């Protein structure tokens, strides 16, 4: 069946999972598998979760509890043992169940009453074999099982893309067969083979693209006639002196921009190391040469922050700066777009909106993306620009270990900012037990008395039955009891609307809120200089890199700042943070201790999202893929392979 033949409701649900067509659907891979094996009736203990099959012994009876809820009861014969079964909301199956109908039930076993409270059932026998059940990330309104059924209904032909000799070299399963196997596993051995083939293909194509870009790195780009003296004068006019690493980064960028070759540079530096000003200088260089610049931030808050900052910095230079975000009125957007096309705007700052289809630049020369956002390939092709492809600068506060960087960013040049601006005091980080809460509150109180502000982080929004951890709403209550009389407390979390979030964030910026209780949604780049304390509850729940980034929200000027990590467990791991403020070191440690999931976990966008491969776990495959793709490119054989050629050209805009 074809994708667009599914009913509309299903298509809507799938869209929430970012599945927009048949290909998306069949490559929506399970994130784990469950082994389902028939329980043996004589070996069951009371309370076991069981899966058991037999034949209907006594016809079902359905009770309607209310309009929306019914309960069906029947008896099942399992090799002579009779079990009672109850299951909710399956009344619709009643007419299909006759005496002797085969039934498999999944549920909880009650030994004394010889009874199963089932949560699932199927009208078939399980058989003796172990079944491997794929589990998918699902969303409200569609279950993992439904996703699997939809995928199995979708039969489209899938061809091998990567060259056949590689299939032979590693004895890989053909792609079509692999896809069937991962959604409908026949055995663990074959499933593993299928997954390996898909991972290899994914990583091969990724590395092929990276290497192709690298090969074309010295591609012709814009050259700019900009005098060094003008840049130096601009730098002198800034309210502070650049650090040495900032100066080096500026030099790198200046050289790139005047070189006549296309820039593709990654600017890495810890939170607060001062990447933004470097990007503004790049924008200034580009402006002097007469080209437009675009600066893309991952969120509205950050876009607005950049916008306000750049207005200050460019105040006396007659540079026109525009702001474009998704939530602006259509009429406002239209005006901005018109100005942009007429070259009345020199610098456009915004969110993803910058590269939507109707935004056309007059002579875009430079694109900068802030905070961990590497363009997805699709976005890269979306530069609607008259003229040559722009230079590109990526900024990231999540350094990744060198070995990985060389591979994953192989197509880019890298500038690192390792030193913090002078006068900055290291954030003092303290690890506390839950039993030491009095002292923590005392420390918070001290900051409040100084009219400083405090961030408080909780891992979840509201109380959850399953996991015992601090949540925003509980903390709000507790903090109101402790501090409500002396200061204002605000909350921020991901379920709030964008507008609500912005409002709270702005009030915090204006010091109208002293304590901000939040999940990790507070943005990486948010700059509130007066905030001097970060308190993180249940901090063991976070990776070191995430904690380090959270901590980077404080210590943004010469005030001594503090980070208090609260946890009774994993103290050794957390102590890495009390010992160092070096983001590069921390990311290495994170890799060793937690396996990088955290580092790549935050890169939720752009090229880094793999559907089945996991960079760290599949690092060996990645290295093979790297080697193979280099060899393949060198051989020039790709030039005859239409699928690959299209993939490289379409997806990398280097046509
Ligand atoms: P990040 O690298 O995290 O994006 P920012 O660019 O937001 O860091 O810089 C953090 C703060 O440090 C900003 O308020 C910025 O104005 C300030 N800053 C940047 N460079 C310097 C410097 N060389 N000396 C003093 N302050 C600086
Ligand atoms: Mg920043």
Q: Is the pLDDT of residue 655 over 70?
A: no
Please tell me the distance between residue 643's alpha carbon and the centre of ligand 2 in angstroms.
39
Cα separation, 387 vs 199, whole angstroms:
37
Closest protein CA for atom 9 of ligand 1: 274
Of 390, 392, 388, 358, nearest to 373 by C-alpha is: 392
Percent of the chain past pLDDT 90, that is, above it, reads 52
Tell whether ligand 1 has an atom less than 6 A from the beta carbon of residue 553: no
Give the SS3 label for residue 407. Answer: helix
Cα separation, 371 vs 553, whole angstroms:
14
Residues with CB under 5 A from ligand 2 (ion): 525
Q: Is the pLDDT of residue 609 over 80?
A: no
- Summarize the confidence of residues 27-40 as an average pLDDT: 88
Q: Is the pLDDT of residue 69 over 50?
A: yes
Tokens 């918070």 belong to which residue?
444
Predicted confidence (pLDDT) per residue in 506-520, tens digit: 899 999 999 999 988
Tell whether ligand 1 has an atom less than 6 A from the beta carbon of residue 275: yes
Residue 502 or residue 324, greater confidence = 324
Residue 616 or residue 155, greater confidence = 155
Q: Is the pLDDT of residue 596 over 50?
A: no
Confidence of residue 230 (pLDDT cuts 50, 70, 90): very high
Half-sphere exposure of 561 (CA within 13 A, CB side): 29
Cα separation, 350 vs 297, whole angstroms:
6
Q: Which of 72-86, 198-212, 236-250 has the lowest mean pLDDT?
A: 198-212
CATH superfamily of 228-417: P-loop containing nucleotide triphosphate hydrolases (3.40.50.300)
| pLDDT score at 464 | 63
Please tell me the distance between residue 531's alpha carbon and the centre of ligand 1 in angstroms.
15
Looking at CATH, the fold of the domain delimited by 38-129 is given as OB fold (Dihydrolipoamide Acetyltransferase, E2P) (2.40.50)
Tell whether ligand 1 has an atom less than 6 A from the beta carbon of residue 277: yes
| pLDDT score at 384 | 52
Looking at CATH, the fold of the domain delimited by 428-580 is given as Rossmann fold (3.40.50)
Q: Is the pLDDT of residue 651 over 60?
A: no
Write the DSSP assignment of 244-257 as a string of letters.
HHHHHHHHHHHHHH
Predicted confidence (pLDDT) per residue in 476-488, tens digit: 999 999 999 999 9
| pLDDT score at 412 | 82
Give the SS3 label for residue 260. Answer: coil
CB 560 within 8 A of CB 530: no
**Pocket probe mutation, ligand 1, options 272, 373, 584, max atoms within 8 Å of Cβ:** 272
| pLDDT score at 413 | 87
Residue 500 or residue 638, greater confidence = 500
Q: Which of 98-107, 454-463, 482-491, 512-521 has the lowest mean pLDDT?
A: 454-463
Cα separation, 624 vs 591, whole angstroms:
21
Tell whether ligand 1 has an atom less than 6 A from the beta carbon of residue 396: no
Please tell me the distance between residue 272's alpha carbon and the centre of ligand 2 in angstroms.
7
Cα separation, 14 vs 25, whole angstroms:
8
Q: Is the pLDDT of residue 653 over 80?
A: no
| pLDDT score at 137 | 84
Of 147, 150, 145, nearest to 1 by C-alpha is: 150
| pLDDT score at 339 | 96
DSSP 178: H
Closest protein CA for atom 23 of ligand 1: 242
Q: Is the pLDDT of residue 605 over 50?
A: no
**Pocket probe mutation, ligand 1, options 267, 274, 308, max atoms within 8 Å of Cβ:** 274
| pLDDT score at 126 | 83
Of 526, 446, 525, nearest to 486 by C-alpha is: 446
Confidence of residue 377 (pLDDT cuts 50, 70, 90): very low
The CATH 2.40.50.140 domain(s) of the chain lie at: 38-129
Q: Which of 43-52, 85-94, 146-155, 463-472 has the lowest mean pLDDT?
A: 463-472
Predicted confidence (pLDDT) per residue in 181-214, tens digit: 999 999 989 999 999 999 999 999 988 988 887 7
**Pocket probe mutation, ligand 1, options 236, 242, 276, max atoms within 8 Å of Cβ:** 276
Please tell me the distance between residue 135's alpha carbon and the centre of ligand 2 in angstroms.
37
CB 55 within 8 A of CB 100: yes
Residue 67 or residue 248, greater confidence = 248
Q: What angle do CA 137, 138, 141 make, to 5 degrees?
A: 175
- Round the average pLDDT of the chain to a whole number and report it: 87
Could you tell me the two tokens for 55? 């034949």
Predicted confidence (pLDDT) per residue in 269-302, tens digit: 888 889 999 999 999 999 999 999 999 987 788 8
| pLDDT score at 332 | 95
Tell whether ligand 1 has an atom less than 6 A from the beta carbon of residue 372: no
Q: Is the pLDDT of residue 376 over 60?
A: no
The CATH 3.40.50.300 domain(s) of the chain lie at: 228-417, 428-580
Tell whether ligand 1 has an atom less than 6 A from the beta carbon of residue 397: yes
Tell whether ligand 1 has an atom less than 6 A from the beta carbon of residue 240: yes
pTM passes above 0.85: no
Please tell me the distance between residue 252's alpha carbon and the centre of ligand 1 in angstroms.
19
């Amino acid at each position: 069946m074809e994708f667009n033949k599914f009913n509309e409701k299903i298509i809507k649900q799938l869209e929430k999972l970012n599945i927009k067509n048949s290909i998306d659907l069949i490559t929506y891979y399970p994130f784990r598998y469950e082994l389902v094996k028939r329980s043996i009736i004589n070996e069951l203990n009371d309370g076991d979760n069981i899966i058991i099959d037999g034949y209907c012994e006594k016809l079902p009876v359905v009770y309607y509890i209310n309009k929306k809820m019914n309960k069906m009861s029947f008896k099942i014969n399992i090799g002579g043992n009779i079990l009672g079964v109850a299951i909710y909301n399956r009344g619709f199956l009643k007419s299909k169940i006759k005496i002797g109908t085969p039934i498999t039930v999944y549920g909880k076993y009650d030994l004394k009453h010889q009874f199963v409270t089932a949560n699932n059932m199927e009208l078939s026998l399980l058989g003796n074999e172990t079944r491997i059940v794929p589990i998918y990330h699902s969303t409200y309104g569609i279950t993992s099982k439904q996703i699997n059924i939809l995928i199995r209904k979708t039969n489209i032909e899938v061809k091998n893309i990567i060259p056949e000799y590689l299939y032979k070299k590693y004895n890989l399963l053909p792609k079509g067969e692999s896809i069937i196997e991962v959604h409908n596993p026949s055995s663990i051995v074959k499933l593993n083979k299928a997954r390996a083939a898909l991972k290899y293909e994914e990583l091969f194509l990724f590395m092929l693209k990276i290497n192709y870009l690298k090969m074309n790195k010295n591609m012709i780009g814009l050259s700019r006639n900009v005098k060094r003296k003008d840049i130096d004068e601009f730098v002198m006019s800034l309210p502070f002196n650049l650090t040495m690493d900032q100066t080096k980064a500026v030099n790198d960028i200046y050289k790139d921009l005047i070189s006549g070759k296309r820039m593709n540079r990654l600017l890495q530096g810890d939170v607060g190391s001062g990447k933004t000003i470097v990007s503004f200088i790049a924008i200034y260089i580009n402006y002097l040469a007469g080209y437009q610049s675009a600066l893309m931030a991952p969120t509205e808050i950050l876009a607005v922050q950049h916008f306000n900052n750049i207005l200050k910095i460019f105040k006396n230079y007659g540079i026109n700066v525009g702001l474009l975000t998704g939530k602006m009125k259509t009429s406002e957007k239209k005006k901005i777009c018109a100005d942009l096309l007429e070259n009345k705007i020199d610098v456009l700052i915004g969110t993803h909106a910058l590269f939507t289809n109707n935004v056309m630049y007059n002579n875009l020369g430079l694109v900068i993306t802030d905070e961990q956002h590497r363009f997805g390939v699709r976005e890269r092709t979306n530069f609607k620009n008259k003229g040559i492809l722009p230079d590109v600068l990526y900024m990231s506060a999540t350094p990744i270990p060198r070995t990985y960087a060389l591979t994953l960013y192989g197509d880019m040049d890298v500038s690192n900012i390792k030193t913090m601006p002078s006068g900055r005091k290291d954030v003092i980080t303290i690890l506390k037990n839950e039993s030491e809460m009095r002292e923590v509150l005392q420390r918070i109180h001290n900051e409040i008395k100084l009219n400083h502000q405090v961030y408080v982080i909780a891992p979840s929004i509201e109380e959850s039955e399953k996991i015992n951890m601090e949540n925003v709403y509980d903390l709000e209550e507790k903090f109101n009891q402790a501090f409500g009389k002396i200061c204002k407390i605000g909350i921020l979390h991901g379920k709030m609307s964008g507008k609500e979030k912005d409002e709270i964030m702005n009030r915090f910026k204006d010091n109208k809120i002293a304590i901000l209780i939040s999940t990790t949604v507070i943005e990486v780049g948010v700059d509130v200089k007066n905030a001097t304390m970060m308190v993180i509850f249940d901090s063991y729940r976070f990776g070191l890199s995430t904690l380090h980034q959270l901590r980077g929200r404080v210590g943004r000027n010469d005030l001594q700042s503090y980070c208090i990590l609260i946890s009774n467990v994993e103290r050794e791991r957390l102590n890495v943070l009390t010992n160092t403020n070096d983001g590069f070191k921390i990311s290495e440690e994170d890799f060793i201790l937690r396996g990088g999931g955290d580092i790549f976990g935050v890169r939720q966008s752009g090229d880094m999202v793999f559907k089945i491969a996991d960079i760290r776990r599949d690092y060996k495959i990645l290295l093979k893929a790297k080697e193979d793709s280099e060899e393949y490119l060198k051989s020039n054989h790709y030039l005859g392979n239409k699928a690959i050629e299209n993939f490289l050209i379409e997806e990398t805009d280097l046509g």
